[in-house]
Amino acid sequence: MRILPGGEFLVLVAPILGGLFFCLRLAEPLAAQEGTWPVSCQVERPTIFDRPVELHEGVLSVPEVPRHEDALGIEGRHVEIGDGVRIWVEEVGEGPPLLLVSGGPGTSHHYFHPSLIPAASLARLIYVDLRGVGLSDGIRPDGGYTVEGAVKDLDQVREALGLSSWSVLGYSFGGTVAQLYALEYPTRVERLVLASSTVPMAVDLGLGSRQRDYMSAREIERVGEVYSVNGEGVVPAHSDLVSPEAQRSMLYNGFRNGDWKRRHICKMSDDEIARFARYEFVHARDYYSEMVASGQALDLRSRIAELNVPTLIIEGRWDLAFGAGKAERMRELYPRARVVVLEEAGHTLFEDDPSGFFGTLGRFMASGPSGSINDGRRLGRSAARSAAEGAREFAMAEGWRMVFAVLDAAGDPVLVERMDGAQPASVEIALEKARAALAFQRPTSQMQEWVVGGSLHLLGLPGIVPVEGGIPIWDGTRLVGAIGVSGASSAEDGRAAQAALDALSALWDVPLSLHAPRPQ
């Protein structure tokens, strides 16, 4: 356990509750500390490389856990697309619209919460549940659930939202839907992002070839026992054999017995597994089997040459859902795409390496005229120096020795300044405060209030820093960056951060804010 300076220990390490300690990890990555494992976690927990084994012979009840939207303050709505079908939509952030298509098939938008919230500083995120998934209606179309049908539904969602075009991010099986959408509606796609994506074509990507590499023989056996009905193995997806209640139980007990290792690098907490079972792998009967069959029937290799859309492909070196050569195969299939391999990530890229993922996504979204986040005032080095100077003058007048970090809208550090006498540890703390303020689009003082108020489960959210001293920078409706300060007490860090914001307001002669604008 690491005690953070400046009076921040009592907040980052939450009060003892029943002997359980919560600690937000701000130390260097595990790989750097141990010199052993290739991937570290955002919070202290075992990884597949530790080969932890935890077996449960009985059937565990699925805990009641709240949805992430409750804590994040996100409200959604149903959008009608015709034939009485309602699609669930949630929107977060400002800027160019970015549609998020989750995987599975059969995984809801909740799978992206809270991990993709940092992207709200780059774009207007549009979360959807496809027809038959999550909170959307499960009205089965004629001919069953198909990738082609999902693509048509999505374009009706776009029209219902009044958008002429949008960028599209497809994750895992959602990448298959995203690719077909870009081919069917190329003029409506500004950018295409494929993250850990499947491909709608008959090519060998080693699907599933490595997913049990880090499971023990007993774990594989036990998971097989959990995923069975009357002694016969089944897929834990809603079908005639598997009811929604049975599916939830199978998923929770399967993952509690090690099945999380097939897709995740870091061990999932019991609450995370419960949320996956209750809210994330949720779909109508036969949805999974019909969509798998539909995706396998597609072969779009002859149409890739038509794809004249800026395309980013992000792969994780440790994505065990596919073979080790998948990234190179994607380069061959998409010669005009930008392919980025994150060396410290698996299938869940945005959880394993958020800095690499959102940095890559931010640069891609900022490129070109239609998706630029640099219109108007830009938080460059000159402006960042002015902000730091305002904070430094304030700190010197109070006799404090501090570190100031300024990030741009993409989350990249523009300036980090350490005053003489300031402790080295405050450099990383200031950066983490700024990153959290940017990712959650709110001051870290608000996160501190959540935790002090008893919402200890929020400490499990990736990237949260419940310590005052990090503030986002709002220029009207645009989030242009963030400021982080460390070195004194939390309240004093917050005052210095406000001084930096005031200095930037004076430079630009505009009333900047640390709070998001209220919806009109």
Structure tokens at 247: 């599916």
- Of the candidates 408, 333, 406, 15, the one whose C-alpha atom is nearest the C-alpha of residue 176 is 333
Please give the C-alpha separations between residue 202 and each of 104, 297, 327, in angstroms, as whole numbers: 18, 8, 16
- Tell me the residue ranges of DSSP E strands in 31-135: 76-80, 86-92, 97-101, 124-128
pLDDT of residue 393: 95
- Does the pLDDT value for residue 216 go beyond 70? yes
- Does the pLDDT value for residue 307 go beyond 90? no
- Does the pLDDT value for residue 21 go beyond 50? no
Spatial distance between the Cα atoms of 460 and 334, rounded to a whole number of angstroms: 37
3-state secondary structure of 304: helix
pLDDT of residue 209: 83
**Higher confidence at residue 375 or residue 139?**
139
Any residues with CB less than 8 A from the CB of 405 and at least 6 apart, and which? 413, 415, 416, 427, 430, 431, 433, 434, 483, 484, 485
Any residues with CB less than 8 A from the CB of 350 and at least 6 apart, and which? 112, 115, 116, 195, 357, 358
pLDDT of residue 378: 65
pLDDT of residue 516: 80
**Higher confidence at residue 111 or residue 42?**
111
Residue with tokens 């004249």: 308
80-97 pLDDT, tens digit per residue, is: 998 889 999 999 998 899
Spatial distance between the Cα atoms of 51 and 34, rounded to a whole number of angstroms: 16
- Does the pLDDT value for residue 351 go beyond 90? yes
pLDDT of residue 40: 60
416-448 pLDDT, tens digit per residue, is: 999 999 999 999 999 999 999 999 999 999 999
Across all residues in the chain, what is the average pLDDT? 86
Spatial distance between the Cα atoms of 275 and 282, rounded to a whole number of angstroms: 11
- Does the pLDDT value for residue 159 go beyond 90? yes
Lowest-confidence region among 232-236, 244-248, 259-263, 302-306: 302-306
Cis peptide before 466 (omega within 30 of 0): no
